[in-house]
Structure 1
């Protein structure tokens, strides 16, 4: 006889089992909605809420007339979402993007290989190219708004302007020095998106508007800068020199109108240039100035009253100083030169004799007053102060050689500033490179004028100017710097060049610096050529560069000849 089970027992067992299962569900619900709710809410929000940086437009760097030397252009960053790209289309996506972006197909294929990554940049292009890419309507291929930095002039003032990295941060030159001002402030957008990145309708969106960067206007004149780069580049090549630099300054304001180097940094290909090629040598390279420094010794001698322009010196072609016999700039029999003649003929021996009347301490003070041993404060990136030993530390022959520019080190900008001071009647104006910036309303705000400091008296400056004019006239060392129709004052410089590579003096530094018109100075031009192989005298290879650049600058600035006649200068006693 068949016996059926107890239904009550089956019901009880079923109820117990159901209660157990439901209790597990309930416990899990308590955990999810109670104990761990904040964790899961935060995780859901993290996946749903997307933060997007909105880049700010970087400000422009312009020349003094507003011509853009560095500007920002619209761009698009093409990106991949490998997890969304249809597997069957990956080969086609890689081939198409490679063709449109001009990159190897293998590079795109590699970036598609990791579906776990959600945002893989593949290139930054102009908007027109981006539209062509997106027209293919591939899933997982998108674009984001970006900006690119462009340098229309290529290598025009390259090391002065500098460049930015891939992150938009300035890495050298003015781009680095004024990065905060130029960069502005990036904005931010927060929104809620679905699994595939689409925005969820009716959800919150927070947007912080970016603040565009401000513009920086330089004192550089684009045309004069170009002419200076052309002239120094050609001469460096012709003489087989290592490098060269040119500075052009406004006498009255101290503003730098050109700061050219050869070779110059090409901003469109800066990544291919070694870091040492990023340096603005016009303000960073330190060298011994040679005879261009004699103008300071002359100013010190005249200012002290120990020497007058007509003072006569008996000048041999050598002089003993401590344990060294120092030779004149050129062999000659003993001659009687006026102090004006000493400067005009660039006599080392005559300069030493004049310096001995001044004394070490006073000469050192005059070098300091002209700005040696301290940074010019012009606002360039990478300015150097040079080297000016204390007069108490001048030993042996250094007491003599500093008088004619060996044993003290300067930059091209410092030397140009010395001649600006003489040309400006003895008043030094702190050099400047920034003409001004725009404010938050895009209104131009001029920079403060350079500090004016009286260095020597007007009479001293006028007498030194006459000597420098004689140096460019017949009988002087700078005749190749003469410009038809204009009165030119200037000085040659030829110094032995210290080179760390040979651990001593190897080669030469050739320099010419001067101003025009001599009787109503407007512009200073300095040309310096380092380690030339074809010739080495400043009057032979640097003076022609000065002439080219000064001639162009005078015409560019519409400076007319004064029409006056230079005063007669007696070079030798008895003339």
Structure 2
């Protein structure tokens, strides 16, 4: 018999063995594994011998083995030690400690909020109910050169009610007074007076200070007013298209109101209001954050009387000729704009009845082919380059073949021998084309640029169109003759007015000015900066051109309608077909008629440009636009107190056979 101590300690047959090293001896007796009925031995371990195991039945042939579910993962060591099911006292103790810590954190935070930082949090909570709103400021005026207003702001009142302050016994009287005095709807007023919960209900806008004073003197409770401003445009100034208007927010939307908005608007003040539970604003005493700063006045170079007359004369002629519209520019030799009229126009006090087409300032926004008014640049280039003289004679037939196109004069006078003076006076297309051939496309283009075509005028007005002047490298066969007589390019009315102002100014182009300066709230005037000046042609060339243009209004010229008694007048007519926007081709029955000129011709003071779009019946510049030029120039000479001319015009030879006597 073997010694029990010599047996394997893991041998299950060893007394007290459990299959674990170091475990205490089992008190349960060991069972002999049950043998199968066939008498075969059971393999060790096959029956699941060991602690906690049970004998598994033998698997039948073809039977799939059943999977044993995986045991759950063991808990982490810390939890295994701390929260063992058999140790509830320890769990309660630790849970209690955690709860105490959380309560201490809450208590500390409450102490900070309600004690240490109480004022800070109270202020933050109050600020959630406050909003900062703008206080309207006084918008600057737009005036003429003499201080007469084209646009100004007047003080008005916004009337409101505080329903909580309205006394019950005064309620009906308050409603009646508001309805009667301010022409309001009774139902709407009553609803605002009875509104709850509310402390601020606006009932009337743009109330005059006098009307509000009468209302306040009644001493009724719960009604108040705030200062506001209303933009007002004096009627019949004739400057609506130029000046423009402001929107409901008080900012400029069109014209000078929009362009000069930053200067005119000033800086709004700031005020804090408390927002009620229903979102209404409750004005606060002492809520002023910043005082409003009024805007600056803008003084223009315009003359109000001249502006009014120019607008009226233009409107009458447009209506008389059933034209689509037109523009008038009046300037002096310093290129200061004295009047800028456009028609059709609109009322700035009733903009809802009109639209963008009426608001547009056609004097800078509408382009057209200048026609014969452009010939002054062609002849200026030839004279300045020394290619010809006013007395040079040209053979001028009625028509001229130029590549694949035939150019003709407006009147068939056969073949004539005309001087350069005569070519200008009779507005000869063929004669001008012959001179342009000598000038050349590059030189002609440069002179046109120097006179200001194909580029902005410098006025920087909203909606301005610079026109079209193509590069000479892109000119095709007939472009040179076309451009020389004012076709194949486009300009706006102001550009052509400045061309004639340059001639009248002795050949010096001056950057045009419309703003004379600004006036601050203290009344101090700050003039605009000095304009840039550029010499385009010599003084001698300018004088020669002035004599040629004076011949246009003479007996042999195309515009005797432009003459003014007592004054020598220089000018030029223009007639050009208009393009059909749908086809892009010229409309043979649609024209632009123009006249541009200055007076007195021997000592120029004033320049007037008249443009009529699509006149009916009378289409030529001299006949259609000449009379408007005459009316406006006559009024301007008197308004500006320009003395009559003291000299007689010299004899100007137009034909070769004429002598100088």
TM range (shorter): 0.7 to 0.9
**Cα deviation per residue 1:158-202 (whole Å; 9 max; x = unaligned)?**
1111111121111111111111111111122448899995857xx
Is the contact made by 1:214 and 1:442 (CA closer than 8 Å) also made in structure 2? Answer: no
Shift of 1:309: 1.2
Alignment of 1:157 with 2:239, yes or no, is yes
Q: Name the residue aligned to 1:544.
A: 627
The aligned counterpart of 1:13 is none
- For residues 535 and 116 of structure 1, do their structure 2 counterparts lie closer, same or farther at Cα, with a shift above 3 Å needed? farther
Which residues in structure 2 correspond to 1:346-425 (within 5 Å)?
A: 346-425=427-506
Partner of 1:230: 312
> Aligned partners of 1:302 and 1:113: how far apart in 2?
83
* RCO comparison, higher one (Cα < 8 Å, 6+): 1
3-state SS of paired residue (1:533): coil
Q: Does 1:55 align with 2:136?
A: yes
Q: Which residue of 2 aligns with 1:511?
A: 594
Q: TM-score, normalised by structure 2?
A: 0.77
Where do 1:465-484 residues align within 5 Å?
465-484=546-565
1:108-123 matches, within 5 Å, as: 108=189, 115=196, 118-122=199-203, 123=205
Query: Normalized against structure 1, the TM-score is what?
Result: 0.88
- Please tell me whether the aligned partners of residues 419 and 524 of structure 1 are also in contact (alpha carbons under 8 angstroms): yes
- The match for 1:67 is 148
State the Cα deviation string for residues 17-59 of structure 1 (Å, max 9, x = none).
xxxxxxxxx9998697369966554233444x56453322111
CA displacement, residues 544-573 of structure 1 (integer Å, 9 cap, x when unaligned): 011111111111111112221111111122
Distance 1:89 1:46, change over 3 A: farther
Shift of 1:262: 1.6
Q: Which has the higher helix share?
A: 1
Number of the residue aligned with 1:443: 524
- Pair 1:221 & 2:303 matched: yes
Deviation at 1:275, TM superposition (A): 1.4
1:567 aligns with 2:654: no
- Please report how far the alpha carbon of residue 233 of structure 1 lies from its aligned counterpart in structure 2 after TM superposition: 0.9
Aligned to 2:612: 529
Shift in alpha-carbon separation, 1:242–1:192, aligned structure 2, 3 A: closer
2:419 aligned residue (338, 342, 356):
338
* More moved, 82-91 vs 341-350: 82-91
Displacement of 1:151 in angstroms is 1.3
Structure 1 unaligned residues grouped into runs of 5+: 1-25
Secondary structure of the residue aligned to 2:574 is strand
Q: How far is 1:378 from its partner?
A: 2.5
Contact kept, 8 Å, 1:80 with 1:141, in 2: the verdict is yes
8 Å CA contact 1:310, 1:339 repeated in 2: yes
Q: Does 1:178 align with 2:252?
A: no
Cα offset for 1:403?
A: 0.6
- Note the C-alpha offset of 1:483: 0.5
**Cα distance change, pair 518–93 in 1 and its aligned pair in 2 (3 A):** same
C-alpha contact (below 8 Å) 1:155/1:267 kept by paired residues: no
- The change in CA–CA distance for 1:273 and 1:443 in structure 2 (over 3 A counts) is same
Q: Please give the alpha-carbon distance, in whole angstroms, between the structure 2 residues aligned to 1:231 and 1:77.
A: 41
CA change 1:379–1:444 in 2 (3 A) is farther
**Aligned-residue offset at 1:326:** 2.1
Q: Report the counterpart of residue 410 of structure 2 in structure 1.
A: 329
d(CA) in 2 for partners of 1:194 and 1:538? 68
Say if 1:81 and 1:115, in contact at 8 Å, map to a contact too.
no
* Structure showing greater Rg: 2
Shift of 1:512: 0.5
1:495 pairs, out of 549, 564, 576, with: 576
The structural deviation recorded for 1:120 is 4.2
Q: Taking structure 1 as reference, are residues 426 and 29 closer, same or farther at Cα in structure 2, changes over 3 Å only?
A: closer
Give the Cα–Cα distance (whole angstroms) in 2 for the partners of residues 228 and 275 of structure 1: 22
CA offsets 1:93-142 (integer angstroms, 9 cap, x no match): 66653443334445546767864565443422211222344456665543
Cα contact 1:155–1:265 (8 A) shared by 2: no
Aligned length: 547
What RMSD in Å do the two structures reach over aligned CA positions? Answer: 3.0
Residue 367 of structure 1 and its aligned partner are, at CA, apart by: 0.5
Aligned partners of 1:217 and 1:437 also within 8 Å: yes
Task: Tell me the CA shift for residue 340 of structure 1.
Answer: 0.9
Instruction: Please point out which of 119, 122, 125 is paired with 1:43.
Output: 125
- Pick one of 226, 230, 235 that aligns with 1:144: 226
State whether residues 436 and 480 of structure 2, in contact with CA within 8 Å, keep that contact through their aligned partners in structure 1. no
CA distance in 1, matches of 2:502, 2:275: 66
- Aligned partner of 2:511 in structure 1 is 430
Alignment partner of 1:248 is 2:316: no
Secondary structure, counterpart of 2:523 in structure 1: coil
